[in-house]
């Protein structure tokens, strides 16, 4: 069991935050600080550089814990565990997009904290052992790229990608068989895929021109899905298509 980990706590209920801190200390970990809102949490992460974050979802007014999780993935690359009583389907769908290393449901026990931290740290280090290769410039001369999927690297051919969709600070890439969630904004994805016949039809969508089946006044059809086309993008899109 690892006991020298620095654990940050993000929780807006002072009494619950105190309980979590005590459980963390009793388990032999180090508490690097407590924050109760998004901005305070960002400062805590930057100043203390914790190893792992225990993260509540509800943080009062402003951005919530899920928004903070996206920030962590973008700027910190640290493992985090949600602690929340929110288990409704809408919340869980948002949670899934952040790829957390655990989820503790309130009310919880001291053993829940200790067990989840140890499991999360173990999983995090397993992932680090797999060198992440994703959208590397070295692959631009090839016909594929790699996406990290759990503990594996999955090869994806550019030609198999139907379209990509923005989702907060993440992007979702769709193929006919499956979808992949990337820890990149759609702007970053566009920069890497624009050389391979991809086009930004809308602020939230990037499409593979090869897979467009039909062009309507305000959308294109790809694999049965209607994807919006903004007025500003329509003329450029038509110029890239072979028209008769």
Domain count, the chain: 2
Confidence of residue 140 (pLDDT cuts 50, 70, 90): very low
Domain assignment present for residue 166? The answer is yes
What CATH number corresponds to the domain at position 57? Answer: 3.40.50.2300
Provide the whole-model pTM: 0.57
Per-residue pLDDT reduced to its tens digit, 29-76? 999 999 999 999 999 999 999 999 999 999 988 899 999 998 898 888
Between the CA of residue 20 and those of 23, 26, 89, 183, what are the distances in Å? 5, 10, 25, 29
- DSSP for 117-132? HHHHHHHHHHHHHS--
What CATH number corresponds to the domain at position 195? Answer: 2.40.50.1020
Per-residue pLDDT reduced to its tens digit, 87-122? 888 888 888 888 888 999 998 999 999 999 998 898
Claim to verify: residue 183 and residue 228 sit in the same structural domain: yes
**Domain range for 103:** 6-129
**C-alpha to C-alpha distance for 33 and 8, rounded to whole angstroms:** 5
**C-alpha to C-alpha distance for 113 and 24, rounded to whole angstroms:** 7
Query: Which residue reads 């565990």 in tokens?
Result: 81
Instruction: Determine the pLDDT at residue 195.
Output: 75
Claim to verify: residue 161 and residue 234 sit in the same structural domain: yes
Claim to verify: residue 114 and residue 159 sit in the same structural domain: no
Per-residue pLDDT reduced to its tens digit, 201-226? 999 999 999 999 999 989 999 999 99
Q: Is residue 117 a contact partner of residue 86, using CB atoms and an 8 Å limit?
A: no
Sequence-distant contacts of 111-114: CB under 8 A, at least 24 apart: 113/20, 113/23, 113/24, 113/27, 113/54, 114/23, 114/27
**C-alpha to C-alpha distance for 169 and 215, rounded to whole angstroms:** 28
Between the CA of residue 204 and those of 46, 126, 131, 169, 181, what are the distances in Å? 30, 33, 29, 11, 14
**C-alpha to C-alpha distance for 229 and 215, rounded to whole angstroms:** 9
Claim to verify: residue 99 and residue 199 sit in the same structural domain: no
pLDDT of 131 > 60? The answer is: no
Domain assignment present for residue 1? The answer is no
């Amino acid at each position: 069991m690892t006991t020298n980990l620095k654990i940050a706590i993000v929780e807006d209920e002072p009494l619950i935050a105190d309980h979590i801190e005590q459980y963390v200390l009793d388990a032999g970990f180090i508490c690097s600080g407590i924050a109760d809102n998004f901005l305070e949490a960002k400062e805590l992460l930057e100043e203390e550089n914790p190893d792992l974050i225990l993260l509540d979802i509800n943080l009062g007014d402003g951005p919530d814990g899920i928004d903070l999780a996206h920030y962590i993935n973008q700027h910190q690359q640290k493992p985090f565990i949600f602690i929340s009583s929110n288990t409704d389907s809408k919340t869980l769908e948002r949670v899934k997009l952040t790829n957390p290393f655990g989820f503790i449901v309130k009310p919880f026990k001291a053993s829940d904290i200790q067990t989840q931290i140890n499991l999360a740290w173990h999983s995090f280090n397993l992932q680090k052992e797999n060198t992440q290769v994703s959208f590397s410039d070295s692959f631009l001369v090839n016909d594929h790229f790699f996406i990290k999927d759990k503990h594996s690297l999955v090869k994806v051919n550019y030609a198999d990608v139907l379209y990509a969709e923005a989702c907060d600070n993440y992007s979702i890439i769709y193929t006919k068989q499956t979808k992949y969630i990337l820890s990149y904004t759609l702007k970053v994805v566009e920069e890497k895929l624009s050389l391979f016949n991809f086009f930004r039809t809308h602020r939230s969508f990037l499409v593979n021109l090869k897979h467009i089946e039909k062009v309507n006044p305000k959308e294109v059809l790809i694999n049965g899905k209607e994807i919006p086309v903004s007025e500003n993008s329509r003329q450029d899109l038509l110029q890239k298509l072979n028209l008769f």
